[in-house]
Amino acid sequence: MIDDLDRSLEALLRQDLPASLVAQVSISFAAPDDRFPPSSVSLPAIDLFLYNVQENRNLRSNERVIERQGNGAVAIRRAPARVDCSYLVTAWPSESSTTPALDEHRLLGEVMTVLLRYPLLPDEVLRGVLIGQEPPLPATALQASSLQSMGEFWQALGGKPKAALNYMVTIGVDPFEAITAPEVVERVFRGEPERRDR
């Protein structure tokens, strides 16, 4: 499921970034550590590092979803858990760049523009199990991250601090099996006749 989210975000960036950038930029989901980029990633690159996954308890629901099966049965399932997936987005200029900081900031600015454009991930970029997911997938860009300290974060990864965007998408995760039951089509009320004592 998280890999479907990665592929959806890559599709969004490839759809909305300027064509001149899409042709030359790699999109990576690797850790931006002192060994970045890995051999599989060529520069320039945009990196979306998934650094935190946690349930959004504010969106927890106890509702049951009932789906008619068409054969006289219904499937009853619990509402999916809502899970926040937080990414740290960085940009990496070409090694041959004569203005690496400017190129990095230009790439990051283009990505920021795309991410701010969509408060919900658009249907046309969704992949795998995310297709048709209800409710839609809300996304927030440039909000405060759940990282305690960016300096400590970069130090823990062994890399040098970089400009970065925080981006979060909330997906639904359904860990429960549906329960199948017969469909109720009419209600019957039965009562006891009134007894008269003699």
39-70 pLDDT tens trace: 889 999 999 999 999 999 887 777 767 777 77
Alpha helices in 17-127 (DSSP H): 19-22, 100-117
| Residue 64 is assigned to a structural domain of this protein | yes
Residue 183 predicted with pLDDT over 70:
no
In the prediction, which pLDDT does 182 show?
65
| Residue 32 is assigned to a structural domain of this protein | yes
| Residue 27 is assigned to a structural domain of this protein | yes
CA triple 31-20-38, angle to 5 deg: 20
Determine the Cα–Cα distance for residues 193 and 83; give it in Å rounded to an integer: 54
Q: What is the pLDDT of residues 85-129, one digit of tens each?
A: 999 999 999 999 999 999 999 999 999 999 999 999 999 999 999
pLDDT bracket for residue 80 (50, 70, 90): confident
- Predicted structure pTM score: 0.80
| Residue 155 is assigned to a structural domain of this protein | yes
| Residue 87 is assigned to a structural domain of this protein | yes
Structure tokens at 54: 């946690």
Instruction: Supply φ then ψ for residue 141, to 5 degrees.
Output: -120, 150
| DSSP SS3 for 81 | strand
DSSP state of 39: T
Structure tokens at 76: 């009853």
Report the domain count for the chain: 1
Determine the Cα–Cα distance for residues 85 and 120; give it in Å rounded to an integer: 14
| Residue 129 is assigned to a structural domain of this protein | yes
- Which amino acid makes up residue 185? V
Report the half-sphere exposure of 33 (CA within 13 A, side-chain side): 8
Determine the Cα–Cα distance for residues 43 and 93; give it in Å rounded to an integer: 6
| Residue 89 is assigned to a structural domain of this protein | yes
**How confident is the model over 133-149, as a mean pLDDT?**
83
Range of the domain at 137: 2-176
Bridge partner list, 65: 77
| Residue 48 is assigned to a structural domain of this protein | yes
Contact of 1 with 171, CB cutoff 8 Å: yes
